Amino acid sequence: MTPTASKRPLQLNDQGQLRHFLSIDGLPRELLTEILDTADSFLEVGARAVKKVPLLRGKTVCNVFFENSTRTRTTFELAAQRLSADVITLNVSTSSASKGESLLDTLRNLEAMAADMFVVRHGDSGAAHFIAEHVCPDVAIINGGDGRHAHPTQGMLDMLTIRRHKGDFSQLSVAIVGDILHSRVARSNMLALKALGCPDIRVIAPKTLLPVCVEQYGVRVFTDLAEGLRDVDVVIMLRLQKERMAGGLLPSEGEFYRLYGLTQQRLLLAKPDAIVMHPGPINRGVEIESAVADGVQSVILNQVTYGIAIRMAVMSMAMSGQNTQRQLNLEAGEQN
């Protein structure tokens, strides 16, 4: 069934195709699977001598990062270049935003330079939705992480990593460990795993680092690491998001590591072929032992490589959805 215009989620067009990519919330399993399948085909492009396809030739992609980033910003840039787009990255710390220009005024000026797509990272939850509601309808918005709310391309690259290493989601136990409360990655991963049919999603954290009513995501909650890790196929470790903590949530980093740090010894509780993931940046000796981060079960750097393919998939699908919507609008205008 095609969603009606009034009920249609902001990020889909009248045909149910992606127009923006703001959140995994509400996206059907078929669409998430299409993103994974498309990304799989783009992984092959990354292995070629000439790593380019012409899908976004003539389009302009603008990265606007109001928060620091290494992996997301760089892999979005690479992904856009591999799709043959023209790419500009606005360094917000040296932009006129630092002189008091509002978020929308900054974007209006970039729109006036005929950007077709914005990749936005912002410290405020909901910033990407706000921008998508206010930019002109032909411009696609991709969320590169907004506050504690969502990091949907990280969620999807994590799903691609799990699918490539473990296969069918319907047989898996996945544990997400650490600072769930402040983590947009945890929220995106819980939603994606649920939508893709994972039957056993566990979150493991001290009570102070768990969101209220986290069970609503369809997860099992553990405060004991050993209990939660038992026989899992996938362990996703999270960084302590100290920049988002009000303080007083933890006695100390040392105490956190003692109770929740993933050591080689504790990893033995998971299945022998379990994989270890982390969105980065990792804090060695805080949430993860170096021997685990660099060990044979770690797929942390594979995640970064898969991130390019996922970002290529999302950008090409959103641009295709924008073009379809533009065509539908033109045809509707001709009929009126």
Name the residue nearer to ligand CP (CB basis): 13 or 143: 143
In sequence order, the β-bridge partners of residue 118 are 62, 141
Rounded least distance, CB 73 to ligand CP, Å: 6
247 CA to centre of own chain: 26
Structure tokens at 233: 């196929």
Name the residue nearer to ligand CP (CB basis): 232 or 238: 238
**CA 229 to CA 297: how far, in whole Å?**
15
Per DSSP, which regions of the chain are E strands? Answer: 60-65, 86-91, 117-122, 140-146, 173-177, 200-204, 220-222, 234-237, 275-277
Name the residue nearer to ligand CP (CB basis): 178 or 280: 280
In sequence order, the β-bridge partners of residue 173 are 200
In whole angstroms, how far apart are CA 230 and each of 130, 174, 227, 264? 41, 10, 6, 14
**CA 162 to CA 33: how far, in whole Å?**
13
| Residue whose C-alpha is closest to residue 311's, from 134, 157, 84 | 157
Q: Is 166 annotated as a binding residue?
A: no
Which residue is closest to ligand CP by CB?
72
Rounded least distance, CB 193 to ligand CP, Å: 17
Q: Is 71 annotated as a binding residue?
A: yes
Rounded least distance, CB 210 to ligand CP, Å: 21
Name the residue nearer to ligand CP (CB basis): 17 or 75: 75
Q: Is 279 annotated as a binding residue?
A: no
Q: Is 151 annotated as a binding residue?
A: yes
Q: Is 194 annotated as a binding residue?
A: no
Q: Is 72 annotated as a binding residue?
A: yes
Question: CA torsion sign, 161 to 164 to 165 to 168?
Answer: positive
Rounded least distance, CB 194 to ligand CP, Å: 21
Q: Is 48 annotated as a binding residue?
A: no
Name the residue nearer to ligand CP (CB basis): 68 or 96: 68
Rounded least distance, CB 72 to ligand CP, Å: 3
Q: Where does 167-289 have alpha helices with state H?
A: 184-195, 225-229, 253-260, 264-267
Name the residue nearer to ligand CP (CB basis): 154 or 298: 154
Rounded least distance, CB 65 to ligand CP, Å: 8
> In sequence order, which residues have a C-beta less than 8 Å from that of residue 275 and are 6 or more positions away?
161, 162, 165, 166, 233, 234, 235, 297, 298, 299
Rounded least distance, CB 207 to ligand CP, Å: 25
Rounded least distance, CB 81 to ligand CP, Å: 17
Binding site for ligand CP (CB under 6 A): 69-72, 145, 154, 279-281
Q: Is 148 annotated as a binding residue?
A: no
157: part of which helix (H) or strand (E)?
A: helix 152-166
Q: Is 121 annotated as a binding residue?
A: yes
- For residue 24, the one-letter residue type is I
Question: CA torsion sign, 210 to 215 to 217 to 220?
Answer: positive
Angle between the N-to-C axes of helices 71-82 and 152-166, in degrees from 0 to 180, rounded to the nearest 10 = 80
Name the residue nearer to ligand CP (CB basis): 145 or 178: 145
Q: Is 322 annotated as a binding residue?
A: no
Name the residue nearer to ligand CP (CB basis): 147 or 279: 279
Q: Which residues are annotated as a binding site for L-aspartate?
A: 99, 184, 239
Binding residues for carbamoyl phosphate: 71-72, 121, 151, 154, 280-281
Residues annotated within the binding site are 71-72, 99, 121, 151, 154, 184, 239, 280-281
